[in-house]
């Protein structure tokens, strides 16, 4: 048996095509979506992400404003910039590329972003709304995972869904989204006992831990749907996920590749949130 490949690249291209049409339509009504991207320091991985976000904006017709700050910038100055962007009508979405340098408190920075411009979905208000089933913006990576699952016609209701990793960016919000679709959700982490046994129960497995090829084919249930959120660069420059693709694709019924799986979907969902924010802000102004 060979697993069906859940191609995030293809689906992301389709979503971006639809968004491009939407943007063309709303521009006729005088709504010009804009995304501000703030990057602190020169982390190469962050730079790659920022560039791909800017490229996606260009494809869709969203204006992007980049603010590249020195890694020694003070927390106070970064907050000042965010407040300025909160009040800038050209900016509908604000994204601060994480991780930030050690001397800056990420929590404070996220709190400083106006929740109606928080297109990452990390502001406590947006997290709370997700928890209570009334989301404003869905966090981009978990939302991308859901789109991939749904587009593939995979039923979530009543399924055993296991998430490996409990981060605020992926694991926790992913659990809420699967729960909202009536999945039975278990979150595993570094203290989970008998991890392999829990993973083997999963009908739908989402792995987001940042450990190269940690999950092997013999630890998954035959026919499981495997979503690999990890992206790790090995010493030989090869990019792999948190799942060992070769062995897992022989056991799973469907699997996401790395690269080309969840990554492109994250960016497509960010674009979707930015367009949504632009429309909502225009409506509020009346």
State the Cα–Cα distance between residues 285 and 31, nearest whole angstrom. 11
Select 29-114's CATH number: 3.40.50.2000, 3.90.79.10, 3.40.50.10860, 3.40.50.300. Answer: 3.40.50.10860
Give the residue-averaged pLDDT of 180-192.
Answer: 97
Which residue(s) pair with 37 in the sheet?
A: 66, 95
Is 46 a residue whose pLDDT tops 80?
yes
Active site residues: 53, 97, 120
pLDDT of residue 273 exceeding 70, the answer is yes
Torsion of CA 87, 89, 93, 94, to 10 degrees: -40
- Per residue in 190-228, pLDDT tens? 999 999 999 999 999 999 999 999 999 999 999 999 999
As annotated, the residues of the chain forming the CATH 3.40.50.720 domain(s) are 140-263
Give the burial string for 180-206 (b: 16+ CB within 10 Å, else e). Answer: ebebbbbbbeeebeebeebbbebbbbb
Give the C-alpha separation, 118 to 273, whole Å: 9
Question: 106 CB contacts (<8 Å, ≥6 apart)?
Answer: 98, 99, 100
DSSP class of residue 152 equals T
Q: Is 166 annotated as a binding residue?
A: yes
165 known member of a binding site: yes
Interval 103-107 mean pLDDT: 97
**Percentage of residues of the chain with pLDDT beyond 90:** 96
Banded pLDDT at 61 (limits 50, 70, 90): very high
* Burial of 76 (C-beta count, 10 Å sphere; 0-12/13-18/19+): exposed
**Mean pLDDT of all residues in the chain?**
97
Structure tokens at 17: 């095509």
pLDDT-derived band at 183, boundaries 50, 70, 90: very high
CATH 3.40.50.10860 maps onto the chain at 29-114
Task: State the pLDDT at residue 2.
Answer: 85
Does the domain at 140-263 match CATH 3.40.50.720? Answer given as: yes
Q: Has 61 been labeled as part of a binding site?
A: no
């Amino acid at each position: 048996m060979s697993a069906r490949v859940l191609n995030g690249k293809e689906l992301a291209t389709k979503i971006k095509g639809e968004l491009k049409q939407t943007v063309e339509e709303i521009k006729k009504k005088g709504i010009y979506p804009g995304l501000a991207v703030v990057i602190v320091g020169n982390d190469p991985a962050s730079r790659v992400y920022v560039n791909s976000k800017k490229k996606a904006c260009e494809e869709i017709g969203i204006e992007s404003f980049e603010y590249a700050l020195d890694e020694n910038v003070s927390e106070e100055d970064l907050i000042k910039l965010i407040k300025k962007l909160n009040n800038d009508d050209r900016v509908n979405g604000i994204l601060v590329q994480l991780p930030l340098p050690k001397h800056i408190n990420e929590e404070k920075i996220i709190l400083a972003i106006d929740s109606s411009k928080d297109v990452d979905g990390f502001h406590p208000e947006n997290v709370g709304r997700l928890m209570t089933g009334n989301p404003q913006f869905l966090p981009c990576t978990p939302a991308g995972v859901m789109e991939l699952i749904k587009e593939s016609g995979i039923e979530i209701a009543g399924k055993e869904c296991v998430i490996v990793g409990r981060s605020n960016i992926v694991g926790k919000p992913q659990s809420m989204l699967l729960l909202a679709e009536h999945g039975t959700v278990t979150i595993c982490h570094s203290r989970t006992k008998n991890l392999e046994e829990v993973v083997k129960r999963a009908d739908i497995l989402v792995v987001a831990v940042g450990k190269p090829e940690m999950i092997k084919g013999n630890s998954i249930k035959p026919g499981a749907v495997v979503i690999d959120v990890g992206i790790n660069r090995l010493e030989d420059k090869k990019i792999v996920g948190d799942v060992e693709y070769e062995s897992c694709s022989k056991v799973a019924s469907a699997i996401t590749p790395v690269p080309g799986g969840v990554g492109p979907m994250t960016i497509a969902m960010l674009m979707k949130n930015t367009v949504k924010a632009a429309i909502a802000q225009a409506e509020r102004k009346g």
